[in-house]
Structure 1
Amino acid sequence: MTSPGTDLVMPPDLLRAAQEAKGFMPPDEGRALFEVACEYGRLGPICEIGSYCGKSAIYLGAAARLTGSVVVTVDHHRGSEELQPGWEHHDPSLMDPRFGKMDSLPEFRRTIAAAGLEEEVVAVVGRSETVARLWNTPLAMLFIDGGHSEEPARADYEGWAPHVLEGGVLAIHDVHERPEDGGQAPYRLYLRAVGCGAFTEIRREGTLRVLKRVGPGIG
């Protein structure tokens, strides 16, 4: 797939902030996310499902600043399954000792504030499926990077994909086509989106897949 052209370059200070932030977005995928957000952010708001500590939100927020858009991030900030104690990606520094639970919200807020993106990035704290039921604004871009197990991934897609406007884009992260490379739930979302006929793939970078909405009938 060819990458969409953009004459916008991510400011060096924001690029550095994104690369130094906690998270799992490789630089090449982050830059691709920024470029896509630059192209489609002009059409309306951007929504990110699963924000963790704000790494990918910086890439999206940088694009929102350049295009006059806004990024809404949706996350309960208690961590998805793979971020819990005993799992490979668990970060003990994000534990809230008062409740014995993960809490990435303070780190997220520090990350966005330090990057100077508090005007462009709006954090909604809550479960994806709950917020989706209240949402009614068409989205120029939807980035799904929430829970990677089957049920949370399915809920993210079913709750949010219908809000992508025709001509807008759906981006899915951590799409592993081979089971030995990673969890398969995001890959199944990708197959479902392409298979329903409402989306067509326009770009891929690493495990990031970008799909343009070309019709109704999201299934």
Structure 2
Amino acid sequence: MDEGLRRAALAAKGFMPEDEGDALYAAARTVPAGGLILEVGTYCGKSTIYLAAAAREAGAQVVTVDHHRGSDENQAGWEHHDPTVVDPRTGRMDTLPFLRRNLEEAGVEDVVTLVIGRTEQVGGWWTTPVSLLFIDGGHAEYQAQADYEAWAHHVAPGGTLLIHDVFSDPADGGQAPYHIFLRALEDGFKERSRTGSLRVLDRVA
């Protein structure tokens, strides 16, 4: 991975450990030329930069979908709340300015397209097949299930599905990503690898 992009990814706000970021990059690096990488849950762009680095090398493009108002677990009073991403004008979270700055400073705007909206909105009209899908949106059960429902069927045969924050033991973390991981296995995806909480699955052609 380009060292400048690695530094940019590590410096960006987010919740992905370095080894998981490297695994995300490695999986995305195998996307075919002209392929599409779709990320659900952008936050401030840490994982987006890993994906963009891979896309640039592979000759692919990244689309990242987020409403930028924060997931349930990012709101005030919750463990993963960051008051620095709250817009003082509205009192609401707004991670979009942080994302824009991070992508600009990383120099990856040429391979990343931002879609601002909720899964329930964007997934309803989306029709383009996806070479790699990375689900890392809200971790409430309803939101994780909505993300999977909206996007998993867009993964092309032979394509890749990655799910972040998968913990089989409730003591380690929330269970919603684990539940959609199990759902993916039931739907015929095959697990390829795991790094920390990141699971990589293949859609059998």
Which range, TM-score by smaller chain? Answer: over 0.9
| Correspondence list, 1:76-115, <5 A | 76-115=67-106
Q: Does 1:205 align with 2:195?
A: yes
Alignment match of 1:126 (pick from 103, 117, 126) = 117
CA positional deviation for 1:37? 0.3
The 8 Å contact of residues 31 and 60 in structure 2, kept in 1 or not, is answered as no
Q: Does 1:185 align with 2:172?
A: no
2:31 is paired with a residue whose SS is: helix
1: CA distance, partners of 2:33 / 2:169: 35
TM-score w.r.t. structure 1 length? 0.92
Distance 1:156 1:188, change over 3 A: same
The 8 Å contact of residues 39 and 135 in structure 2, kept in 1 or not, is answered as yes
Which 5+ residue runs of structure 1 have no aligned equivalent?
Answer: 1-9
2: CA distance, partners of 1:165 / 1:32: 21
2: CA distance, partners of 1:95 / 1:78: 9
- 1:163 aligns with 154
The 8 Å contact of residues 53 and 107 in structure 1, kept in 2 or not, is answered as yes
2:134 is paired with a residue whose SS is: strand
- 2:56 aligns with 65
Which 5+ residue runs of structure 2 have no aligned equivalent?
Answer: none
Q: Does 1:143 align with 2:134?
A: yes
TM-superposition CA deviations, 1:136-175 (whole Å, max 9, x none): 0000000000000100000000000000000000100000
**Which letter maps to 2:196?**
G
2: CA distance, partners of 1:201 / 1:23: 25
**Which letter maps to 1:210?**
V
2:21 is paired with a residue whose SS is: helix
> Over aligned residue pairs, what C-alpha RMSD do you find?
0.9
CA positional deviation for 1:195? 1.5
The 8 Å contact of residues 39 and 133 in structure 2, kept in 1 or not, is answered as yes
**Which letter maps to 2:30?**
E
2: CA distance, partners of 1:129 / 1:214: 26
The 8 Å contact of residues 34 and 61 in structure 2, kept in 1 or not, is answered as no
CA positional deviation for 1:43? 6.0
